[in-house]
Amino acid sequence: MTNSIDEIRDADLLFVTGSNTTEAHPIIAMEMKRAIQRGAKLIVSDPRKIWMADIADIFLQIRPGTDVWLLNAMANVIISEGLTDDEFIARSTVDFDKVKETVAKYTPEEAEKVTGAPAELIREAARLYATTKKAGIYYTLGITEHTHGTDNVYCLANLVLMTGHLGKRSAGMNPLRGQNNVQGANDAGASPVFYPGYQRVTDAEAQKKFEEAWGVKLSPNEGQNLNVMMKSVIKGTVRGLYVMGEDIVISEPNASKLEVGLNENCEFLVCQEIFHNVTTQFADVILPGACFAEKDGVFTNSDRRVQRVRKAVDPPGNAREDWKILIDFAKASGYPMPDYSSPAEIYDEMASLTPKVAGISHRRLEENVMGLQWPCPEPDHPGTPTLHVDGPLKGKADFQAVEYRPSAELPDDEYPLVLSTGRVLYHYNAATQTRREAGSVAKVGRNFIEMNRKDAKRLGFENGEMVDVVSRRGRVDAEVMISPRMRVGCVWMPMHFAESRANLITNDAGDPVTQTGEYKVCAVRIESRNGNGNRNPERQRRA
């Protein structure tokens, strides 16, 4: 996030797109509700009529995967109606002309045909966004989990840059991070292209610095990101895995191919886990780790805030803190890993090599109850709540002209419905934790497929009926949930349930830059399990 979470309450406009905030980030949603109660305007674009859509001033219920059309059309309106911040564009950006040229053909009327959102509403949304000073964009996986996810992000960044909504309190570009420490994991260098603090592995200077610090020669080649790595397991070019705290099989798209890869190609799999999950079934060695309440360290949240994690109880049985396991594993592998006495010492080593967090230490975090937000380069630096205050950090920000590309798999006669997958409030990702919690299970106990009443009626399905959802890659069972939130022709399923895994049917076609799978769009048909429903795919096509 370029802004901080507490800036949301002071915003005058929230543009929430591809984020079901009340379910995936409920406490951030509370800040949004507070802003709206104060009088802030709300624009929501989403294929589903989510909770936030009910209280939105403008709701754009677009067809899944048509974001580029919507966002380019908004840019078109902002430019053609002269609502750009020309001074900001001249001072802080390059390549605006390319975007101007590209979006010229993305008129609201044409966008209406593709997205399904009315042209007039697109115009209103563009005007409202461009003319409100404290305007923030908030997005999550609804934007990124597409084969054009990077393009979607570029389009949003174009809107931010052409209106100058950057580097100000409550105005900026805010991806809401999904996991407690996904920001911190990247910051710490758990990345195939970056050492800690986003120093490139291909940068010879950085390589030299880390070689000196760690006393070994390092590879100058970029590694594989998780999506590529999993495809390498399927192909047999990656043959050994060490997986810590991640259920790769339930989380990756088109999971059955990965299962075959793990069975046939992966010669050695180490899992470090707190619960058995789908992935540990393939493990050669399982190392029992500790959960967050059983160890010390830091998590970095969505607004770059480094905060303490403190040990409250001991790990169960012979389970151990993960940092201790890793030290022993490194030593057993023949590397002289230092005998760090505590995570504070490990953090100090990282901070000494990482300018962005060089001013942060466990000692400072004890004194700063609110945590410290990076960049925080010096021990007396107060941290950085809002990014890009003095202009873009990189000097000049690049506009990126983006053309619409359809999603990789569109509905056809055989698979006539569009499936998106996602998360519900009551469960967390692979749900090994929340499915052991009575209230979460009482609220949502099993897999479901959400669909519009018209589709259910046309297909002959009743609310609560068990069905099979079938794609080219597999089938999973689910309970029909008839819901006014869905567009006709679109269905939605959560990804939490190990016995009915949405990712057996999702599409692993990847974004060309990130290789992120297309979890938000794939083609499916729905089959009855009890013989009552209509098995004929012909009938499932949109009337």
Partner 1 sequence: MSSNRFDIEINGKACSAEKGETVFEVAAREGINIPTLCHDTRLEPAGACRVCLVEVEGQRRLEPGCAWKVSEGMKITTESERIERHRKVLYGLYLADHELDGEGLPVETGNGNQLRELAMKTEPLALNPVEAPRAGRPSDENPYIRFEPELCILCARCTRYCDEVEAVNAITLANRGSHTTIATAGMRGLLDTTCELCGGCIDTCPTGALVEKKSPDPLPADARKVRTTCNFCGVGCQLDLHVVGTNGTSRVAKVTSPPPGETVNDGNLCIKGRFAYDFIHHEDRITEPLIRGEDGELHPATWDEAIAAAAEGLGKVKEKYGADALGFVSSSRCTGEENYLMQKISRAVYGTNNIHQCSAT
- Tell which positions 27-46 bind partner 1, by CB under 8 A: 27-28, 30-31, 33-34, 37
Nearer residue to partner 1 within complex by CB, 363 or 457: 363
- Least separation in angstroms between CB 505 and partner 1: 16
- Least separation in angstroms between CB 274 and partner 1: 6
Q: Indicate the helix (H) or strand (E) that contains 324.
A: helix 322-332
**Closest Cα to residue 528, out of 517, 537, 519, 516?**
537
- Least separation in angstroms between CB 225 and partner 1: 5
**Closest Cα to residue 173, out of 148, 193, 155, 199?**
155
- DSSP secondary structure, 91-104, as one string: HHEE-HHHHHHHHT
Q: Indicate the helix (H) or strand (E) that contains 419.
A: strand 417-422
- Give the alpha-carbon dihedral of 159, 161, 167, 171, to 10 degrees: -20
Give me the 468-507 binding string for partner 1, x by CB under 8 A, dash otherwise.
----------------------------------------
Nearer residue to partner 1 within complex by CB, 214 or 256: 214
Give me the 513-542 binding string for partner 1, x by CB under 8 A, dash otherwise.
-xxxx-x-----------------------
Select from 156, 298, 401, 481 the one that contacts partner 1 (CB under 8 A): 298
Is there binding between residue 464 and partner 1 (CB under 8 A)?
no
What does DSSP say about strands 372-373 and 199-200: parallel, antiparallel, or unpaired? unpaired
Nearer residue to partner 1 within complex by CB, 452 or 516: 516
**Closest Cα to residue 8, out of 38, 37, 28?**
28
Is there binding between residue 341 and partner 1 (CB under 8 A)?
no
Phi, psi of 348 (to 5 degrees): -60, -40
- Tell which positions 59-118 bind partner 1, by CB under 8 A: none
Is there binding between residue 56 and partner 1 (CB under 8 A)?
no
In order of 251, 307, 443, the CA distances from 437 in angstroms are: 20, 26, 10
Is there binding between residue 319 and partner 1 (CB under 8 A)?
yes
Contact 62, 122 (CB under 8 A): no
- Least separation in angstroms between CB 36 and partner 1: 9
Contact 75, 48 (CB under 8 A): no
**Closest Cα to residue 427, out of 19, 18, 26?**
26
> Taking the CA of residue 344 as centre, how many other CA atoms within 13 Å lie in the half-sphere pointing to its CB?
10
Is there binding between residue 302 and partner 1 (CB under 8 A)?
yes
Is there binding between residue 437 and partner 1 (CB under 8 A)?
yes
- Least separation in angstroms between CB 500 and partner 1: 19
Select from 119, 226, 488, 498 the one that contacts partner 1 (CB under 8 A): 226
- Give CA–CA dist 276/154, Å, rounded: 39
Is there binding between residue 285 and partner 1 (CB under 8 A)?
yes
Which amino acid is located at 359 in the chain? G
- Least separation in angstroms between CB 402 and partner 1: 19
Is there binding between residue 229 and partner 1 (CB under 8 A)?
yes
- Tell which positions 407-426 bind partner 1, by CB under 8 A: 425-426
> With contacts defined by CB under 8 A, how many residues of the chain interact with partner 1?
147
Select from 193, 364, 414, 475 the one that contacts partner 1 (CB under 8 A): 193
- Give CA–CA dist 345/329, Å, rounded: 18
- Tell which positions 354-383 bind partner 1, by CB under 8 A: 369-371
- Give CA–CA dist 389/170, Å, rounded: 12
Among the candidate windows 108-116, 158-166, 334-342, 484-492, which touches partner 1 by CB under 8 A? 334-342
Nearer residue to partner 1 within complex by CB, 142 or 196: 196
The length of the chain in residues reads 543
Among the candidate windows 42-50, 78-86, 93-101, 184-192, which touches partner 1 by CB under 8 A? 184-192
Please list, in sequence order, all residues whose beta carbon lies within 8 angstroms of the beta carbon of residue 176, skipping any fewer than 6 positions away.
1, 19, 21, 24, 25, 28, 138, 139, 140, 302
- Tell which positions 391-410 bind partner 1, by CB under 8 A: none
Nearer residue to partner 1 within complex by CB, 5 or 509: 5
- Least separation in angstroms between CB 319 and partner 1: 6
- Give CA–CA dist 19/50, Å, rounded: 9
Is there binding between residue 350 and partner 1 (CB under 8 A)?
yes
Among the candidate windows 105-113, 387-395, 405-413, 430-438, which touches partner 1 by CB under 8 A? 430-438
